[in-house]
Amino acid sequence: MTFGRQPQDNNSQFNQPQYGQQQPQNGQPVYQMPAGQNPDGTPYAYAAAQAGQAPIDAQATYSYERAQRVSIANAYGQMTLALLVTAAVAVLTQMTGALNAFLVATGMFGWIGLAIVQVVLAITLGARIMKMKTSTAYAMFYVYAALMGFTLSSIFMVYDLGSIGIALVISAGFFVALTMLSLTTKVNMLKAGPILMVALLVLIVSQVILMFLMPSDTTIMVISAVGVLIFAGMTAYDAQRTRALFAQYATNPDMIKRLSIVCALSLYLDFVNMFLYLLRLFGGRN
């Protein structure tokens, strides 16, 4: 099962640089740093200073970089907390047999209902994050994570604990490596966003069709391998997208808080889906 992602934010506006002069006391003209931002989210002033085309304001540069690091760390912190909530709920659900009891009482309708609620929560967060209270958005995010844990407790019925643990460790290693690479490389993964979204939609449709027409272990292995590759790309893309969004709204703390929830949800979904595909690829069934 592949869980949905958030709609893209394509409304970013990038201001054109405005140059001006000041006359200091010594009468020598000093050009101001250009305002606005580059497509990667960095301010023109910062990029110009890095390129040696403008004087460097060390304090401003340090403040900008520090604010960006704190914002990114906050988003990844929220993602990690959501993953811990999911893991705790999954283990608790398995220990108590709550999922079995729920499915016995509700049947297939209960399973479909869980999926619908999760999709609605994810779409609502992405579509209405700018209109709802921040506290409400946080609550919805962690409720979503808890429901995901309730649903994912089913993997304990299919895979042994060793396979689950190995898939989890591999997923964490891939995720950290891809994040570090995407945040340090000069390759612009943002351009790959539309391609990755189309690939994801094709994967979802193909997965449903093939499981009915060609249900076999080979089909599962092929789909899982493709899924790992796609979500590896999505992880790198979302890491750079998170950095670009935080850079764009660096002077708007309220916007940063809201965006951190959406970015954390996207990163969370990347990790969960990568984990599930790796589990299908390498997991040993009970």
Q: What is the pLDDT of residues 90-149, one digit of tens each?
A: 999 999 999 999 988 988 888 889 989 999 998 988 888 888 888 899 999 999 999 999
The mean of the pLDDT values for the chain is: 80
Residue 210: both structure tokens together: 């093939």
Eight-state DSSP code of residue 192 = G
176 versus 255: the higher-pLDDT residue is 176
Instruction: Classify the phi-psi angles of 52: left when phi > 0, otherwise alpha if psi is within -120 to 50, otherwise beta.
Output: left
With a threshold of 0.85, does the pTM exceed it? no
Length in residues, the chain: 286
pLDDT at 248 over 90: no
Span 38-66, mean pLDDT? 50
More confident residue, 232 or 249: 232
On the CB side of 201, CA atoms within 13 Å amount to 7
CA distance 34 to 43: 8
